[in-house]
Amino acid sequence: MSGEFDLIRRFFARPAPEGFLGPGDDCALMPAEAGTELAVSADLLVEGRHFFSDVDPVSLGHKSLAVNLSDLAAMGARPLGCFLSLSLPRADERWLQGFSRGFHALAERHACPLLGGDTVRSNRDTTIGVTVIGQLPAGSALRRDAALAGDDVWISGELGAADVALRLLQVRSAGDEALLAAARGALEWPQPQLALGQALRGLAHAAIDVSDGLLQDLGHILAASGCGAELRYDAMPVADCLLGLDAQLLRQAVLCGGDVYQLCFTASPQARPDIVRAAQQAGAKVSRIGRTVAQPGLTVLDADGGPIVLTGNAGFDHFA
């Protein structure tokens, strides 16, 4: 490859949709519809911190965009486009082919064209920066500060598998191959719940995507809304592949494990039938796992109604 612009042309340039201006100018241009507002989110993925150096580049390309689209899903937004910045130690053609294939496949699936970005050579590690822009009707966003005492607490999808896969990859011990194979997809191929997020507009009060752990991320909703919550552990949608795992490890993975990228949201109990129907139409699984309460704090109850005490971290800390 001859340089930066050849790299962009070969692996990342795609025709922009009609009415958009994509890569090749100083800025991208996109149309803005009357009566709507934009939702914008940006994330960094750093080698050694957020992904292993030997991860499949196709899955890494997918995940780099998926974690950002999950933020749009949490707000109830429809994707408009995205921007990608790469800091690479070298222009590895095989890596770039895989990464761009995974990235573009997810972008095309959710009508989120790549409209620009930047590339630069790094001294050592790979850093991936993605910005996504979405659109939604003005005033309809699902915000963290809108939960009300007495709301149901819901979660989409399943919990625990991504955290267990991460732990197994960190240890890389023999004898866990079957469990790793069953859990690994949850870690490396998260599926952003965009259809569900849009279907929840007008039904859910508050929402967040679970990236750093259920308890930690739900805690952000509770802090912003000035309320607390009681959750039932026996209502948690535990991934089937984790059945039989040590009980303490399983609880930690389910309640505190990150990289889930499912939606946690609150809604009035009167909205239960509509939420179930909306989830079915969106092709999503949802579980009612507790309720919000007026008193601040977050409690998880076991099957007998007693509080569960966790001894590990409550969630992922990006600076720990």
pLDDT tens digits, one per residue of 79-116: 999 999 999 988 788 999 999 999 999 999 999 999 98
Binding residues for substrate: 50, 259, 316
Is residue 73 over pLDDT 50? Answer: yes
Q: Degrees (nearest 5) of the Cα angle 289, 155, 296?
A: 60
Q: What whole-number percentage of the chain has pLDDT above 70?
A: 92
The amino acid occupying position 126 is T
Binned at pLDDT 50, 70 and 90, residue 320 comes out as: very low
Among the listed residues 106, 109, 242, the one whose alpha carbon sits nearest the alpha carbon of residue 184 = 242
Binding residues for Mg(2+): 26, 41, 43, 71, 118, 209, 212
Instruction: Give SS3 for 100.
Output: helix
- Architecture of the domain whose range is 144-301: Alpha-Beta Complex (3.90)
Write out the E strands in 164-260.
204-209, 228-232
Binding residues for ATP: 117-118, 144, 211
Which residues, at least 6 apart from 199, have a Cβ–Cβ distance to it below 8 Å? 278, 279, 281, 282
Extents of the domains making up the chain:
4-137, 144-301
Is residue 319 over pLDDT 50? Answer: no
Q: How far apart are CA 22 and CA 29, in angstroms?
A: 7
Binding residues: 26, 41, 43, 50, 71, 117-118, 144, 209, 211-212, 259, 316
Is residue 125 over pLDDT 60? Answer: yes
Q: What is the SS3 assignment for 244-303? A: CCCHHHHHHHHHHCCCCCCEEEEECHHHHHHHHHHHHHHCCCEEEEEEEECCCEEEEECC
**Out of 3.30.1360.30, 3.40.430.10, 3.30.1330.10, 3.50.50.60, which CATH number does the structure's domain 4-137 have?**
3.30.1330.10
Instruction: Give SS3 for 168.
Output: helix
Q: How far apart are CA 120 and CA 110, in angstroms?
A: 27
Q: What whole-number percentage of the chain has pLDDT above 90?
A: 73
Which residue bears the tokens 């239960």? 272
Binned at pLDDT 50, 70 and 90, residue 317 comes out as: very low
Which residues, at least 6 apart from 216, have a Cβ–Cβ distance to it below 8 Å? 256, 314, 315, 316
Binned at pLDDT 50, 70 and 90, residue 296 comes out as: very high
Is residue 135 over pLDDT 80? Answer: yes
Buried/exposed code over 162-174 (b: 16+ C-beta within 10 A; e: otherwise) = bbbbbbbbeeeee
